[in-house]
Structure 1
């Protein structure tokens, strides 16, 4: 035996750059079309957001699905936040949270 096995060390760097939402929760009037749809036809807007995210249009009909959708959007676009914050927004400010998700999907596409 003329060569000894060598140990190889590989290091990986994980980028954890987080961003913020493109608009605030209470910026509903930033896009009047989304604001009006979220106010008068929230079910339709929820289906649109769900489809834009790549999920079924029926997803918003399931209990808790809008919290999961918001968490999924945050994860996909690496937006800072937590599931607890998602729950608070979608429980207390559901129309505003829905409009924020719609604006985010529109700005990212």
Structure 2
């Protein structure tokens, strides 16, 4: 008995794969005093700072009311902690001494800077070569 093996030809089509380009940097995307980069956020922080910090803490993944604890002392522990956490999460260079100084003396500007950074880091992936067919 003869067993014939039929071989069929199959065409394999490879679809183009998206390429990820990371815009990550080891620096902050904007400076402490670059509030004009996002005027609505800056105005919101100026007019209702407590609401602004609570909303941003929640968006960052922390407890909504956590920033309210900052009003209990000289050095704002929550602002400093979230800033250090953000530096570590995004790989931003810096040190705790600088974080402590800016969190203490430029608290609103620090929160605005962190808000801008969260917005910028959410736009990390760009698809290149993708076509709408």
Shorter-chain TM range is 0.7 to 0.9
Shift >6 Å, 4+ stretches: none
Q: Match for residue 69 of structure 2? A: 62
Correspondence 1:28 to 2:35: yes
TM-score normalized by structure 2?
A: 0.66
Q: Match for residue 117 of structure 2? A: 104
- Bigger Rg, structure 1 or 2: 2
TM-aligned CA distance change 1:18 to 1:105, over 3 Å: closer
TM-aligned CA distance change 1:32 to 1:97, over 3 Å: same
CA contact (8 A) 1:43 1:60 kept: yes
Q: Match for residue 87 of structure 2? A: 74
Q: Match for residue 46 of structure 1? A: 53
CA contact (8 A) 1:18 1:80 kept: no
Measured after TM superposition, the shift of residue 40 of structure 1 is: 0.8
- Listed one character per residue, the Cα deviations across residues 35-56 of structure 1 (whole Å, up to 9, x for unaligned) are 1011111111111221121111
Residues matched between the structures, number: 93
Measured after TM superposition, the shift of residue 33 of structure 1 is: 1.1
5+ residue gaps, structure 2, are: 1-23, 71-76, 123-133
CA contact (8 A) 1:47 1:59 kept: yes
Measured after TM superposition, the shift of residue 18 of structure 1 is: 6.2
Measured after TM superposition, the shift of residue 68 of structure 1 is: 0.4
